[in-house]
Amino acid sequence: MGTGIAQVAATAGWEVVVADTNEGILEKSSASLVKVMNRLAEKGKYAQEEADKILGRINFTDDQQYFENSDLVIEAIVENLEIKKTVFAAVEKIVREDTLIASNTSSLSLASIGASLENPSRFVGIHFFNPAPLMPLVEIIPAVQTSEETTNQAKDWVDSWKKLTVLAKDTPGFIVNRVARPFYGESLRIYEEGIAEFATIDWAMKELGGFRMGPFELMDFIGNDINYTVTETVFQSFFYDPRYRPAFTQKRMSEAGYLGRKSGKGYYDYAEGAVKPEPVKDKEVGQQILDRVLALLINEAADALFFKIASREDIDLAMTKGVNYPKGLLKWADEIGLDWCVERLDKLYHEYHEDRYRCSPLLRRMLEKNQKFFG
C-alpha cells in the first residue's frame, strides 16, 4: 500500500520518500515501482521519459531523518495500534512543526493513534484503497483532536492527486469497511444456513445484483485473513454489536491457511487445472439471496447517515468508487422503495429475533414521512 501511495503522489508531481526499517522491503518496493512504470510506458499510458521522471521523484531509505522537511507523512504499516503509536511518536520528533502527519489505517481508532502525538491537531486519517494507483476513492478521517485546517489541507492535497475524497467520522470501519460488512457477513450466514453454496451466492450477487465480484470471490481476492481481521476489529470496536459478528466459516478458513488467491486456496481452489464449481442458477433462490444481502447493505448505509458518519453523497460515492458497487446504496433504496427495505428487515427480525436484523430508525422515520434520500 505504501508503494502505491508513493506512486500516486509522485505521479502528481510530489517528491516522495519511501522509508522502512527493512532493506529487503525497500528493494522490493523499488523493483515493483520500476516494473509498474515500465509496463505503463509500454502500454502508452506515459512516455518512457515521463515514467522515468516519476520514478526519479521517489527515494528509498531506511533513515527516518529524510522526513525532516516533509510537508506530509503518511504511515502505511502493519495494523497494530501499539506499533503505530511508537512510529508516530518517533516521526513527530523528526518533522517540522507544520508537517501534516497521517495514517492509512483501515480499521483502528484515529483518536488512539493521535494520542501518541504531542500535537495531535496536525494528525488525520488518509485511507487509500488497494491498489492505491487504480482505486479512485480516498477516505479523509479527522480524529477528535484534528484541526479543521489539517482536515481541509489533507483533502485539498489528495484532491490535487486526482483522487475522489470523502469525509468520514472516526468510527470503526469509517464508511466503506463499515457499510460493506453485510456483503460478506450475510453471505457467509446464508452459506452457513445451507441455503446456497459459495458459487451460487456469488452468481446471484453478480448476475442478479450487478456486483462486479461475488462476496466469496472478493474475500478470496482480499485475503480471508485480512477480511476476517477487519470484521473482528469492527465487531469488537462496536462493543460486540451482533450486526458485525464474524462468521465461524471465515475464521476456520483463516486458521486452516485457506486465505484465498495468495495461498492458492480459499473458498475456491486456485491450483493449476482446478475446476471452479458451477452455481445453481435458480433465479428464485438467487433473488432471495440478493434481497437479503441488499436489505442489510442499505440498512447499514442508512445507519451510517443516521449517526452522521458521512453525508448521503459521500456514502454513496464511497461505495461505488471504493468497492465498485453497481449503485449507491441510498439511491438504490430510493429506487426499490423504503417500504421494501423496512418490510424485508422486519421480516428477518421477526424470523430470527436477532439485533443483527434491526431496522435503522432513519429508514422507518423516512418511510413514515414518505421521504427519499435523494429528490
Active site residues: 106, 127, 139, 177
Cα–Cα distance between 12 and 18 in angstroms, integer?
Answer: 16
Closest CA to 359 of 314, 305, 310, 298: 298
Write the DSSP assignment of 232-264 as a string of letters.
Answer: HHHHHHTTT-GGGPPPHHHHHHHHHT--BGGGT
Cα–Cα distance between 10 and 247 in angstroms, integer?
Answer: 40
Cα–Cα distance between 138 and 318 in angstroms, integer?
Answer: 8
Cα–Cα distance between 107 and 326 in angstroms, integer?
Answer: 24
Sign of the C-alpha dihedral, residues 63, 67, 72, 73? positive
Strand order in the sheet with 100-103: 72-75, 100-103, 123-128, 137-142, 164-167
Sign of the C-alpha dihedral, residues 169, 174, 176, 178? negative
Cα–Cα distance between 17 and 311 in angstroms, integer?
Answer: 34
